[in-house]
Amino acid sequence: MKYDYVIVGAGLYGATFAHLAKKEGKKCLVIDRRPHIGGNIYCENVEGINVHKYGAHIFHTSNKEVWDFVNSIVEFNRYTNSPVANYKGDYFNLPFNMNTFYQMWGVKTPAEAKVKIEEQKQEAVERMRAAGIEEARNLEEQAILLIGKDIYEKLIKGYTEKQWGRPATEIPAFIIKRLPVRFVYDNNYFNDKYQGIPVGGYNKLIEGLLDGTEVKCDVDFMADKEYYESIADKILFTGAIDEFFGYQFGKLAYRTISFEHEIHEVSNYQGNAVINYTEAEVPYTRIIEHKHFEMFGDEVDKNAKTVISKEYSTEWKEGMEPYYPINDAENNTLYQKYKDQADQNSKYIFGGRLAEYKYYDMAPIIEKVLEIFK
């Protein structure tokens, strides 16, 4: 059988592409090496709770076209991301806002908060000048210049070093060029106009996108590439670009995450979906309590159990799931070599996080695919 498109990867990019191609009358086959569809937004139902198996995903966008598109597939709820930071048992609201500043220093007005931050920023500037340094050389110096030492030491340093697996003094300054700082009492992490979680979980979104499209799981495209090329006019490849080209220029580097999922015999374990652990001594970066993404108010206590996930950030190794591209100069140069190769192959479209070696939120992925079909 001949297809207009063979789509390699049943994640959000591949599923959105398949949905839009089908609407144009194209015949598509979607394949995925995993035993399930959905890629990293796949949810597993555990004790009646949709567990984000590959880490928490919160949909947010200011693009009305994207919001209307996803809601045409499945209704989204009103979840608002308001993470909390735990530093040695003390709790601070995120992102940095008036609640954080009150918890940190007892200041109550924006003017008081600005004075406190400016004092600490000025101290950092003077220390650097005394050492003959004009510009921040690393993340530590950059963060202190932006927000001062108290917030840096309690809420940024340990968390960031766990995320990147190296001291903050060895992480490039550009990683933290901007920090969300708000002088209002507002714990909503995102500035976007729209945010939420699909009612019934992300599987509902992917199933809706792939409705009526032929899908095969547990299929390794790389093991049978020539066959799929023979049955497709075009191939959308959403896998790792370096793997596609047989690592001929070398392997791209990633950070990855491992998870410890736990079931607890309580209805409410931590009172929030996301709590970051910002001290270096706690080995995990955060704990996710999944029921809070979809259960609100009295609903939380109707289910007597809860599921939490502890997240550990580690360096990627063969056999692990690659999550975050390390977009430093060396890896970007390496990726460009692969991209140059990819651009010469007219049969293929390379798209998505792994194929483009670029971290994407969910909404920009959909925006990008919508643009293809305009």
The closest alpha carbon to 210, from 38, 53, 372, belongs to 38
User: What are 170-173's contacts with CB under 8 Å, separation 24+?
Assistant: 170/138, 171/138, 171/139, 171/140, 172/138, 172/139, 172/328, 173/135, 173/136, 173/137, 173/138, 173/139, 173/141, 173/142
255 among known catalytic residues: yes
The closest alpha carbon to 276, from 155, 190, 182, belongs to 155
Q: Active site residue: 24, 134, 178, 318, which one?
A: 178
Q: CA 60 to CA 288: how far, in whole Å?
A: 18
The backbone torsions φ and ψ at residue 166, rounded to the nearest 5 degrees and listed phi first, read: -155, 160
> What distance, in Å, lies between the first and last C-alpha atoms of the chain?
28
The closest alpha carbon to 138, from 99, 170, 106, belongs to 170
DSSP 96: B
Which residues in 315-332 are b (16+ Cβ under 10 Å) and which e?
A: ebeeeeebbbbbbeeebe
Residue indicated by tokens 């690659």:
322
Q: CA 301 to CA 372: how far, in whole Å?
A: 44
227 among known catalytic residues: no
361 among known catalytic residues: yes
Q: Active site residue: 255, 312, 324, 360, which one?
A: 255
Q: Active site residue: 182, 189, 202, 357, which one?
A: 182
Q: Which runs of consecutive H residues, i.e. helices, occur in 74-219?
A: 98-105, 110-130, 139-147, 149-151, 157-164, 202-209
Beta carbons within 8 Å of 120's beta carbon, 6+ residues apart: 144, 147, 148, 149, 150
Q: Active site residue: 286, 323, 348, 356, which one?
A: 286
135 among known catalytic residues: no
182 among known catalytic residues: yes
Residues annotated catalytic, as ranges: 178, 182, 255, 286, 311, 359, 361
